C-alpha cells in the first residue's frame, strides 16, 4: 500500500476543499467513511490516492429525518444497520428496510454507510486486478469478452463496459424515485439517483457522475400521494449472507381498484447501471396482477438481453427476480410456480 496523507475535516465545506485539492504527490484525494470497500481497493493497488479524507466527523450528514410532503431524508453517512432498523423507513418503505437488512453481513452493515453503498466500485475481477473499468489488455482488447464473464452484464453490454452496478439497494431507491443531494466546489445540487450512474465509454471515465471534490450528502425518498406504494425487492444469491447478488429486481406499484395504475421496475447486477425496464412497467399497467402477468413482465424486463458467453444463466435469474418481486409487491400468491 502506498503512503498517503490523512485528513479529518469538521465541515462538509472543508471536506470538499480537501477532496478537490491534489493531495500527496498530486495523486488526488478520496473520501473514506466505513471503508469496507475502499480498504480492499487500497490493499490491491487499484486506487492509490495521495490523501484520504475521513468524512466521519461530519455528523450533520448522518441520520434519518422527515421532510416536506412526507419525504424521508437519509444522511449519506448513516450506517446501513441503522437504516435497516429505522422505524420510519420500516413504516413507509418496508421493502427498503428489508433491502438494507440484507446488505452483506452484520459486520459490514455496522460500518458501511449509505453513501458508500451507493458509490461502491464494481466487483468485476478484471477491474479489481487493475485493468480498469473497461478491462482491456495491453493490446486494447476486452479481457471480459475473451475471458471469464460469468458475473458480467446481460443488458447494456454493447461495449466497451461489461461490469455490473453492485449496489443492491440502489435499484429500489431508483424505483421509489429517490433523489441525491451532493455537495461540491460549486455548491449543492440535487438530482435523480438514477443520474448518479453512467456507463463509461472511454478509459479514465468513472461509472459515477460526481465531479472532482463532490460527495453525496443526503438521499431523499419521496412520499407519493395516496400513501406508501406497494414495493418489493428480490435478490438472487448463491448464499443468503456474505455473498454478492447475481440479480436484483425492484418493483414499486400503485394499485387502484385492484389494477396497476403506476409501476416501476428496476434491475440490479445485470448492467453497468441500475437498469430501468419500461417495457415491463408498460406490461403491468391497467392489469390485475397474477402469476401469468408477472411472468409476462419478467419476459419484457429482459427483452434485448445478450449473453456474453458464460453468463447466459443470469437472464433466467433476472426473470425469476422480476416475477417474484412483482408478485411480492402486489401481495399475490406465487402459486403455480
Q: Tens of pLDDT along 156-204?
A: 999 999 999 999 999 999 999 999 999 999 999 999 999 999 999 999 9
Q: Does 334 have pLDDT greater than 50?
A: no
Architecture of domain 230-330: 2-Layer Sandwich (3.30)
Residue 113 in grid coordinates? 454507510
Q: Does 335 have pLDDT greater than 90?
A: no
Tell me whether strands 51-54 and 5-7 are parallel, antiparallel or unpaired. Answer: parallel
Q: Does 333 have pLDDT greater than 60?
A: no
Q: Would you say 244 and 123 are in contact if contact means Cβ atoms under 8 Å apart?
A: yes
Residue 100 in grid coordinates? 438494507
* Average pLDDT for the chain: 94
* Mean pLDDT computed over 100-112: 93
Q: Does 244 have pLDDT greater than 50?
A: yes
Query: How much is the pTM?
Result: 0.95
3-state secondary structure of 187: strand
Which pLDDT band, with edges at 50, 70 and 90, does 23 fall under?
A: confident
3-state secondary structure of 77: coil
- pLDDT tens track for 212-237: 999 999 999 999 777 779 999 999 99
Which pLDDT band, with edges at 50, 70 and 90, does 337 fall under?
A: very low
Q: How far apart are CA 27 and CA 76, in angstroms?
A: 25
- pLDDT tens track for 24-73: 788 999 999 999 999 999 999 999 999 999 999 999 999 999 999 889 99
Phi, psi of 116 (to 5 degrees): -65, -40
Q: How far apart are CA 110 and CA 288, in angstroms?
A: 40
Backbone Cα Rg of the chain = 20
Q: What is the pLDDT of residue 73?
A: 98
Amino acid at each position: 500500500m502506498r503512503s498517503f496523507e490523512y485528513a479529518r475535516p469538521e465541515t462538509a465545506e472543508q471536506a470538499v476543499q480537501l477532496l478537490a485539492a491534489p493531495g500527496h504527490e498530486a495523486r488526488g484525494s478520496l473520501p473514506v467513511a466505513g471503508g469496507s470497500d475502499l480498504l480492499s481497493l487500497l490493499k490491491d493497488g487499484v486506487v492509490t490516492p495521495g490523501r484520504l479524507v475521513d468524512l466521519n466527523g461530519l455528523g450533520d450528514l448522518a441520520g434519518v429525518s422527515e421532510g416536506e410532503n412526507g419525504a424521508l431524508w437519509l444522511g449519506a453517512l448513516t450506517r446501513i444497520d441503522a437504516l435497516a432498523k429505522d422505524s420510519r423507513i420500516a413504516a413507509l418503505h418496508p421493502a427498503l428496510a428489508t433491502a438494507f437488512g440484507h446488505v452483506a453481513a452484520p459486520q459490514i452493515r455496522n460500518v458501511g454507510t449509505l453513501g458508500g453503498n451507493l458509490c461502491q466500485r464494481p466487483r468485476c475481477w478484471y477491474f479489481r486486478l487493475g485493468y480498469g473499468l473497461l478491462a482491456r489488455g495491453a493490446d486494447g482488447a476486452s479481457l471480459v469478452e475473451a475471458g471469464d464473464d460469468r458475473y458480467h452484464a446481460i443488458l447494456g453490454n454493447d461495449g466497451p463496459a461489461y461490469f455490473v452496478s453492485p449496489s443492491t439497494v440502489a435499484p429500489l431507491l431508483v424505483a421509489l424515485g429517490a433523489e441525491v443531494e451532493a455537495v461540491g466546489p460549486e455548491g449543492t445540487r440535487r438530482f435523480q439517483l438514477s443520474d448518479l450512474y453512467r456507463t463509461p465509454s472511454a478509459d479514465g471515465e468513472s461509472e459515477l457522475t460526481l465531479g472532482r471534490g463532490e460527495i453525496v450528502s443526503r438521499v431523499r425518498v419521496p412520499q407519493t400521494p395516496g400513501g406508501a406504494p406497494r414495493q418489493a425487492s428480490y435478490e438472487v444469491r448463491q448464499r443468503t449472507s456474505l455473498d454478492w447478488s447475481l440479480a436484483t429486481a425492484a418493483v414499486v406499484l400503485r394499485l387502484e381498484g385492484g389494477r396497476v395504475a403506476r409501476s416501476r421496475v428496476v434491475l440490479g447486477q445485470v448492467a453497468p447501471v441500475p437498469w430501468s425496464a419500461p417495457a415491463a412497467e408498460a406490461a403491468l399497467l391497467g392489469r390485475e396482477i397474477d402469476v401469468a402477468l408477472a411472468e409476462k413482465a419478467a419476459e419484457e424486463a429482459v427483452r434485448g438481453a445478450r449473453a456474453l458467453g458464460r453468463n447466459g444463466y443470469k437472464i433466467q435469474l433476472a426473470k425469476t427476480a422480476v416475477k417474484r418481486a412483482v408478485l411480492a409487491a402486489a401481495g399475490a400468491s406465487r402459486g403455480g410456480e
